Structure 1
Amino acid sequence: MHTYRLLVLAFLMSSSFLVRAQSNKPTGGHFGVKIGASLTRLNVSGITANIPKQSLAPILGVMYRYRLQKIVLQPEVLLAQKGGNFQTLRIGAAGRDTEANKYYYVSVPVLLGYIPTEGLTLQAGPEFSYALNAGKTNGPGAKNDLGLAVGVHYDFLDMLDKFSLHLRYVQGFTNVSPDPLAVYKNRALQVSIVYNLFPKK
């Protein structure tokens, strides 16, 4: 709860600072569809024999981007897989076993952005996630996950002017471990391509 309050406070302080920015750039909103990949891994602490490793997982979702001069508000709804892999030592034999943690989430990042130069947006904001397979085999132990997303939005020009690029890092703050002796927290590095359904703002 303390982490949640800090995130909300930081978001509000950023909002009050950024709305003072002045620009003659356009205002308005548009929708977009995004698809990409996420390099996921669990940050592990506590008592466990599991060694966290990265895994590659898909991302699919939609976004709405509203621009007010140099300020951008961008909520999204995403289907994403997190969790990464685990490696464990084989008992009585050489080598290691690998197990995939498939944590399926519906995630809702709400990002506030600032445009330092046309075509580039710096973004940050909270990400609220709900696990679709909480409590199941290889699923997370918690239904909800609160995280912080930080990244950039880049608009392509010329022949690719319908497309944008998202680079983003998401850090989870919730313990999603199904094991009461260990603490697992989601980490993800995401790369996505956005197809803008209407002219970009």
Structure 2
Amino acid sequence: MKKVLLVSAIALFGAVNAQTFGVKAGMNISNLSNSEDTKALVGFHAGLFMNAPLAANFSIQPEVLYNTKGAKSDGMDLSLHLDYISVPVMFQYNATPQFYLEAGPEFSFMINSKAKAGGVSADVDELVEKFDIGLGLGAGYYFTPNIGVSARYVAGFSDVVKNNPDDAVKNGVFQIGLAYKFSK
């Protein structure tokens, strides 16, 4: 029994020690589906991540991000700004030590929603859903062991509008950013 506990403790220490933590930030280009008269809204994302190896070429990377999404009207001075705390869980295939491909779910929790027209903004929290789920697909490259770039597209599955009798309005966001891994 003592040997099993010792081996388990060593394995757990190795797994924790193999994890890498970091920060990331970048630009979001978002829009809403089923909105013919909208165009992309530029925003940002920023947050923390942990990368843990699962096998020789595979790892899992959960993240916690502040994410801005939304859209703006094509013809009028009107925009919808949706702020989320997002938790993507990316499964990564490390094609080389520097280059990876990733895919996984993203769970987003609404923290703020505003409609802006002209210079006036108004809360629209009662009109939008508080939870959004999507699927992210992306890639990244590390120039050094600590500094890299990433690109990801997240397609939303949830209707953003509460009690929507029409076709679902879903988030879609393209993200590009920088990542910094802390040294061990």
**Normalised TM-score (structure 2):** 0.78
Give yes or no for contact 2:81–2:113 (8 Å, CA) kept in 1: no
- Runs of 4+ residues over 6 Å off in structure 1: none
Q: Deviations over 1:144-194 (max 9, x none)?
A: 00100000121113xxx4211111000000000257344310000000101
Choose from 63, 66, 74 the match for 2:49: 63
Give yes or no for contact 1:76–1:110 (8 Å, CA) kept in 2: yes
**1:34 and 2:19 correspond:** no
CA positional deviation for 1:84: 1.6
Give yes or no for contact 2:80–2:113 (8 Å, CA) kept in 1: no
Give yes or no for contact 1:102–1:138 (8 Å, CA) kept in 2: no
Cα 1:113–1:169 shift into 2, 3 Å: same
CA RMSD after TM alignment: 2.1
Cα 1:179–1:101 shift into 2, 3 Å: farther
List alignment gaps of at least 5 residues for structure 1. Answer: 1-26, 88-95
**Percent of residue pairs identical:** 30
**Normalised TM-score (structure 1):** 0.72
Determine the structure 2 residue equivalent to 1:187: 172
CA positional deviation for 1:86: 2.1
In 2: Cα distance, 1:74 partner to 1:82 partner? 22
Give yes or no for contact 1:134–1:142 (8 Å, CA) kept in 2: no
Equivalence map 1:164-175=2 (5 Å) = 164-175=148-159
Determine the structure 2 residue equivalent to 1:177: 161
In 2: Cα distance, 1:187 partner to 1:106 partner? 16
Aligned residue type for 2:78 = E
Give yes or no for contact 2:106–2:136 (8 Å, CA) kept in 1: yes
In 2: Cα distance, 1:163 partner to 1:138 partner? 38
Determine the structure 1 residue equivalent to 2:86: 107
Equivalence map 1:87-102=2 (5 Å) = 87=74, 96-102=75-81
Equivalence map 1:131-142=2 (5 Å) = 131-133=110-112, 137-138=123-124, 141-142=128-129
Give yes or no for contact 2:31–2:172 (8 Å, CA) kept in 1: yes
In 2: Cα distance, 1:196 partner to 1:115 partner? 16
Choose from 66, 70, 82 the match for 2:69: 82
Aligned residue type for 1:61 = G
In 2: Cα distance, 1:133 partner to 1:181 partner? 23
